[in-house]
């Protein structure tokens, strides 16, 4: 049977028979530790928890064995997690950021995505549960700087039929690249809203073109990114959550084509199906309503939700 675990070398000059005995003992010991640790979670009240924790232990033990992790490296890892805990607050979660830059958040998106719908993408740290409901067709710009963008679309089912009573939860960063949580000059409700779509699943709003921004780099995750010589930027994006009764909710992002970092998003959130063209719009009625000059910029995107009964 192949040895799955790293086996320390025997002491120099030790008799061959002694080294072989040492090898065998270490093999059994490693295997037994893993099995015992997995088994220790088997009686969890929640069977799903038992399954997930068992798999987590299995793969973490395999990582320790395959990487030949030293005690010094293990202690360094514990110090990293301690630093992440110390900088985490209600407003800033370093573990969420760690999940993002490790690609874990995107992996959860990918494996939990029901087939047939619009691709999901990362939630990010700036979603606000308390965004106000505003009228369909509202103006979020309110005189602030930024290139105006008419964002419109529909919410459809997998058969491309409109979904009535869908809701859009929208948020993005301002022209300075910052979200309200990062910028005391911004109203907490700036460039964010909820919109109830009409009976045809249609929504639209006037906003500004979003900008690329860096993830927070003043904590241990920032130090990890620097030590890894990694990009710290995200491409420009609109955040959107789409929900409707009877359908699987969708957390996603739209990425204007041509933005920097589309091919190197530090949180791995870009999906080809979420890159949107920024087009020229000649709609005179919209221009008149918002005091725009034609042509102005428009982004149009239809979201597709999966029926909850099909998953």
Interface positions with Fe ion (CB under 5 A): 124
Closest CA to 297 of 305, 285, 287: 287
Q: Cβ contacts of residue 271 below 8 Å, gap of 6+?
A: 119, 121
* Residue among 58 and 92 whose Cβ is closer to Fe ion: 92
| Least distance in angstroms from the C-beta of 81 to Fe ion | 25
Of 100 and 298, the one with the shorter C-beta distance to Fe ion is 100
Count of CB atoms within 10 A of residue 295's CB? 12
Give the shortest CB-267-to-Fe ion separation in angstroms.
9
Q: Where are the beta strands (DSSP E) in the chain?
A: 138-139, 148-157, 167-171, 192-196, 202-208, 213-214, 233-234, 238-243, 250-256, 275-276, 279-281, 296-305
* For Fe ion, the closer CB: 156 or 236: 236
- Kindly state the smallest distance separating residue 124's Cβ from Fe ion, in Å: 4
Cβ contacts of 27 within 8 Å, gap of 6 or more: 3, 5, 7
How far from the centroid of its chain's Cα atoms is residue 60's Cα?
22
Closest contact distance (angstroms) between CB of 239 and Fe ion is 6
Q: Cβ of residue 20: shortest distance to Fe ion, in angstroms?
A: 57
In the bound state with Fe ion, the residue whose beta carbon lies nearer, of 30 and 259, is: 259
- Judged by beta carbon, residue 124 or residue 222, the one nearer Fe ion is 124
Comparing every residue's Cβ against Fe ion, the nearest one is: 124
């Amino acid at each position: 049977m192949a040895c799955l675990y790293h086996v320390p070398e025997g002491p120099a000059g030790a008799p061959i028979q002694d080294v072989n005995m040492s090898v065998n003992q270490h093999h059994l010991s490693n295997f037994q530790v893993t099995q015992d640790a997995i088994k220790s979670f088997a009686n969890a009240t929640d069977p799903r928890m038992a399954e997930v924790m068992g798999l987590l232990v299995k793969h973490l033990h395999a990582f320790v064995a395959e990487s030949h992790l030293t005690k010094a490296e293990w202690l360094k890892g514990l110090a990293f997690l301690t630093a992440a805990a110390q900088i985490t607050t209600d407003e800033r979660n370093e573990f969420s950021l760690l999940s993002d830059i490790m690609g874990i958040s995107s992996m959860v998106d990918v494996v939990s995505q029901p087939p047939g719908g619009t691709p999901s993408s990362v939630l990010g740290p700036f979603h606000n549960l308390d965004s106000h409901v505003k009228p369909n067709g509202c103006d979020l710009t309110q005189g602030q700087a930024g290139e105006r963008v008419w964002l419109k679309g529909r919410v459809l089912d997998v058969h491309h039929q409109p979904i009535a009573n869908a809701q859009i939860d929208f948020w993005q960063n301002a022209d300075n690249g910052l979200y309200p949580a990062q910028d005391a000059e911004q109203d907490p409700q700036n460039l964010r809203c909820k919109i109830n779509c009409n009976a045809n699943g249609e929504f639209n709003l006037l906003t500004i073109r979003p900008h690329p921004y860096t993830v927070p780099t003043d904590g241990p995750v920032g130090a990890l990114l620097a030590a890894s010589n990694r990009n710290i930027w995200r491409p420009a994006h609109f955040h959107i959550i789409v929900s409707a009764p009877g359908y699987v909710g969708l957390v996603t992002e739209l990425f204007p084509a041509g933005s920097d970092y589309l091919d190197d998003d530090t949180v791995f959130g870009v999906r080809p199906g979420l890159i949107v063209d920024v087009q020229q719009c000649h709609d005179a009625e919209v221009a008149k309503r918002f005091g725009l000059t034609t042509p102005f910029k428009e982004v149009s995107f239809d979201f597709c939700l999966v029926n909850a009964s099909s998953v």
